[in-house]
Structure 1
Amino acid sequence: MHSAGGSVRYGPVVTARGRGVKIFILAGEPSGDRLGGALMGGLKTLQPDVRFEGIGGPDMAAQGLVSRFDMSELSVMGLAEILPKYRALKARIRQTADAVLALQPDVMITIDSPDFSLRVAKLVKEKSNIRTVHYVAPTVWAWRPGRAQKMARFIDHVLALFPFEPPLMQAAGMACDFVGHPVVAEPVASDLDAKTFRADLGIGDAPMLLVLPGSRRSEVARLGAVFGEAVAKLMYKKPNMRVVIPAASAVVHDVIEVTKDWAFAPIILDPRDHLPEVAKAQKRAAFRAADVALAASGTVSLELAASATPMVIAYRMHWLSFRIIRWMALIDTVTLVNLVSDTRVVPEFLGPECTADQIAGGLAKVLADPDAQNAAMAMTMERLGQGGEAPGLRAAKAVLARL
Structure 2
Amino acid sequence: MTGATSARPLRIAIIAGEASGDHLGGPLMRELAMRLDGDVDFLGIGGTEMTAAGLTSIFPMSDIVVMGPLAILRRLPALRRRIVQAAEALVAWSPDVTVIIDCPEFSHRVASRLRARDPGLPIVDYVAPTVWAWRPWRAKSMRRYVDEVMAVLPFEPEVFARLGGPRCRYVGHSAGERPPADPKAVARLREQASAHGPVLVAMPGSRGNEITRLMTPFGEAVARLAALAPSLGVIMPVLPHTRPVIEEATAGWPVTPVFVTEETGRHAAMAAGDAAIVASGTATLEMALAGTPMVVGYRMEAISAVILRPLVSVQSMVLANLVHGSNAIPELFQNNCTGKKLADAVWPLLNDTPQRSAQMEALADIGARVRATGKPPSAAAADIVLQAAGRRKLLP
Give 1:346's aligned amino acid.
Answer: I
| Alignment check: 8 A CA contact 2:235 2:260 kept | no
Give me the whole-angstrom Cα distance separating, in 2, the residues matched to 1:22 and 1:234: 54
Give me the whole-angstrom Cα distance separating, in 2, the residues matched to 1:305 and 1:97: 38
Q: Would you say 1:363 and 2:346 are equivalent positions? A: yes
Give 1:214's aligned amino acid.
Answer: G
Aligned pair partner of 2:379 in 389, 393, 399: 393
Give me the whole-angstrom Cα distance separating, in 1, the residues matched to 2:194 and 2:104: 43
* Residue 98 (structure 2) aligns with: 108
Aligned pair partner of 2:59 in 60, 69, 78: 69
Q: Would you say 1:138 and 2:121 are equivalent positions? A: no
Give me the whole-angstrom Cα distance separating, in 1, the residues matched to 2:160 and 2:36: 27
* Residue 345 (structure 1) aligns with: 328
Give me the whole-angstrom Cα distance separating, in 2, the residues matched to 1:190 and 1:314: 28
* Residue 116 (structure 2) aligns with: 126
Could you list the per-position Cα deviations for residues 237-275 of structure 1 after superposition, in whole angstroms to 9, with x for gaps in the alignment?
A: 21221122233333323223322343x13214163xxxx
What's the CA shift for 1:354?
1.6
* Residue 140 (structure 2) aligns with: 149
| Alignment check: 8 A CA contact 2:176 2:367 kept | yes
* Residue 41 (structure 1) aligns with: 30
Query: Any idea what SS the aligned residue of 1:249 has?
Result: coil
Give 1:216's aligned amino acid.
Answer: R
Give me the whole-angstrom Cα distance separating, in 2, the residues matched to 1:105 and 1:42: 18
| TM value normalised by structure 1 | 0.86
Decide whether aligned partners of structure 1 residues 356 and 62 sit closer, same or farther in structure 2, where only a CA change above 3 A counts. Answer: closer
Give me the whole-angstrom Cα distance separating, in 2, the residues matched to 1:354 and 1:51: 46
Give 1:120's aligned amino acid.
Answer: V
Give me the whole-angstrom Cα distance separating, in 2, the residues matched to 1:188 and 1:37: 22
Give me the whole-angstrom Cα distance separating, in 1, the residues matched to 2:193 and 2:35: 48
Aligned pair partner of 2:12 in 1, 14, 23: 23
Aligned pair partner of 2:21 in 17, 21, 32: 32
Q: Would you say 1:265 and 2:255 are equivalent positions? A: yes
Q: Would you say 1:377 and 2:366 are equivalent positions? A: no
What's the CA shift for 1:320?
4.4
* Residue 295 (structure 1) aligns with: 278
What's the CA shift for 1:136?
0.9
Give me the whole-angstrom Cα distance separating, in 1, the residues matched to 2:200 and 2:118: 54
Could you list the per-position Cα deviations for residues 312-355 of structure 1 after superposition, in whole angstroms to 9, with x for gaps in the alignment?
A: 11122344443443332211111111110123221111223222
Give 1:114's aligned amino acid.
Answer: P
Q: Would you say 1:327 and 2:271 are equivalent positions? A: no
Give me the whole-angstrom Cα distance separating, in 2, the residues matched to 1:165 and 1:124: 25
Decide whether aligned partners of structure 1 residues 58 and 227 sit closer, same or farther in structure 2, where only a CA change above 3 A counts. Answer: closer
Could you list the per-position Cα deviations for residues 68-88 of structure 1 after superposition, in whole angstroms to 9, with x for gaps in the alignment?
A: 332222223356655675444
Decide whether aligned partners of structure 1 residues 43 and 32 sit closer, same or farther in structure 2, where only a CA change above 3 A counts. Answer: same
Q: Would you say 1:280 and 2:263 are equivalent positions? A: yes
Query: Any idea what SS the aligned residue of 1:66 has?
Result: strand
Give me the whole-angstrom Cα distance separating, in 1, the residues matched to 2:165 and 2:318: 28
What's the CA shift for 1:158?
1.0
* Residue 394 (structure 2) aligns with: none
Query: Any idea what SS the aligned residue of 1:22 has?
Result: strand
Which structure 2 segments of 5+ residues have no match? 392-396
Give me the whole-angstrom Cα distance separating, in 2, the residues matched to 1:387 and 1:113: 24
Which structure 1 segments of 5+ residues have no match? 1-14, 272-278
Bigger mean CA offset, 282-291 vs 153-162: 282-291
Could you list the per-position Cα deviations for residues 142-197 of structure 1 after superposition, in whole angstroms to 9, with x for gaps in the alignment?
A: 11111222222211111111111113333434121111111112344222211122
Give me the whole-angstrom Cα distance separating, in 1, the residues matched to 2:169 and 2:249: 43
| Alignment check: 8 A CA contact 1:198 1:289 kept | yes
Give me the whole-angstrom Cα distance separating, in 2, the residues matched to 1:88 and 1:323: 25
Give 1:164's aligned amino acid.
Answer: F
Decide whether aligned partners of structure 1 residues 154 and 378 sit closer, same or farther in structure 2, where only a CA change above 3 A counts. Answer: same
Aligned pair partner of 1:230 in 214, 217, 221: 221
Decide whether aligned partners of structure 1 residues 257 and 301 sit closer, same or farther in structure 2, where only a CA change above 3 A counts. Answer: same
Q: Percent identity?
A: 39
| Alignment check: 8 A CA contact 1:190 1:288 kept | no
Bigger mean CA offset, 313-322 vs 129-138: 313-322
Decide whether aligned partners of structure 1 residues 122 and 21 sit closer, same or farther in structure 2, where only a CA change above 3 A counts. Answer: same
What's the CA shift for 1:66?
2.2
Give me the whole-angstrom Cα distance separating, in 2, the residues matched to 1:182 and 1:24: 21
Give me the whole-angstrom Cα distance separating, in 2, the residues matched to 1:299 and 1:23: 27
Give 2:310's aligned amino acid.
Answer: W
Give 2:156's aligned amino acid.
Answer: E
